[in-house]
Amino acid sequence: MSSRRSVLLEEMVWPEVESALEAGTRTAIVAVGSIEQHGPHLPLNMDTLDGDELSRRIASELGDALAAPTIRPGCSGHHMEFPGTITVRPEILMDVIRSYCRSLDKHGFEYIVLVPTHGGNFGPVKTVAPDVAREIDATVIPLADLDEHMQLLNAGLSEAGVEYDQDVIHAGAAETAMVLAIDEGLVRMDQIERGPEGDISPARLLSEGFRSITENGVLGNPNEATVEAGETIIQKVAETYVKYIETERSSV
């Protein structure tokens, strides 16, 4: 068997997964991303890229975890006026999450961590997690506080020296910085445009759609983004989530 080591479940062969479980790997990280518009400069899979990177880093830092494939698409109905967006109903997403958790539980994972990276997925994750936890033996840990997630992104910008803050984050400084850090070539630098800034109603975004507020799909100013800020943001979120997971595991 190959000696290649990876924390990505999808890159492993089944004997490697079996060996990892036998060696004490008991935690699976499941990011919940999306395929949706992120302005004229970021790819549709931005939230999935973020999920892939976060789950990989979290699993690596825990040292006894694997990163499951990121779930996509997600609940993105409020972006459907922009071509390319793919959305599923909340009940569909929740069924997929149930199936992931049941599968991982059957294989022997004792902790399943749900990490939504798209705003529209936080509600379904928070709703389904207690139900799934009652159905399986594994402990389900949902990291589904959207307000805190937004605060972490803004804090990462600040720590990197970017004095820019937005309550509702989408395709602006923070997310553009994250994609720059993950794969700079995916950002269409010549297509960067600013979007509305300041006080934006999340309820209106969900009920009336993003196009009711932003013509180009952007909120905020992507020009503030830097590679360094993106790295700081991603690492800050990963380290914060690792601490939460370790606390939850030690309390069970």
**Domain annotation covers residue 115:** yes
Domain housing 102? 9-251
Residue 1 — pLDDT band, cuts 50, 70, 90? Answer: very low
At residue 26, does pLDDT exceed 90?
A: yes
**Domain annotation covers residue 167:** yes
**Domain annotation covers residue 17:** yes
55-111 pLDDT, tens digit each: 999 999 999 999 999 999 999 999 999 999 999 999 999 999 999 999 999 999 999
Question: What does the DSSP assignment read for 44-64?
Answer: TTHHHHHHHHHHHHHHHHHSS
Q: How many domains does the chain have?
A: 1
**Domain annotation covers residue 4:** no
Helix (H/G/I), strand (E/B), else coil: 139 = strand
pLDDT of residue 3: 45
d(CA 181, CA 137): 37
**Domain annotation covers residue 124:** yes
48-71 pLDDT, tens digit each: 999 999 999 999 999 999 999 999
At residue 248, does pLDDT exceed 70?
A: yes
**Domain annotation covers residue 247:** yes
120-160 pLDDT, tens digit each: 999 999 999 999 999 999 999 999 999 999 999 999 999 99
**Domain annotation covers residue 1:** no
Query: What mean pLDDT, rounded, does the chain reach?
Result: 96
At residue 31, does pLDDT exceed 70?
A: yes
55-10-229 Cα angle (round to 5): 30
pLDDT of residue 187: 98
What are the helix (H) ranges across 136-214? 146-159, 173-183, 202-208
pLDDT of residue 65: 98
Q: Does 202 or 235 have the greater pLDDT score? A: 235
Q: Which of 139, 63, 51 minimizes the C-alpha distance to 101?
A: 139
**Domain annotation covers residue 158:** yes
Residue 198 — pLDDT band, cuts 50, 70, 90? Answer: confident
Contact 219, 195 (CB under 8 A): yes
d(CA 77, CA 120): 9
pLDDT of residue 223: 97
Residue 201 — pLDDT band, cuts 50, 70, 90? Answer: confident
Helix (H/G/I), strand (E/B), else coil: 198 = coil
pLDDT of residue 154: 97
Q: Which residues of 198-217 are buried (b: 16+ CB within 10 A; e: fewer)?
A: eebeeeebeeebbbebbebb
Instruction: Determine whether 119 is exposed, middle or buried from the number of CB atoms within 10 Å of its CB (0-12, 13-18, 19+).
Output: buried
Domain at 158, CATH number = 3.40.50.10310
d(CA 18, CA 25): 9
At residue 202, does pLDDT exceed 90?
A: no
At residue 2, does pLDDT exceed 70?
A: no
Query: What is the layout of strands, in order, in the sheet containing 111-116?
Result: 65-67, 27-32, 111-116, 139-142
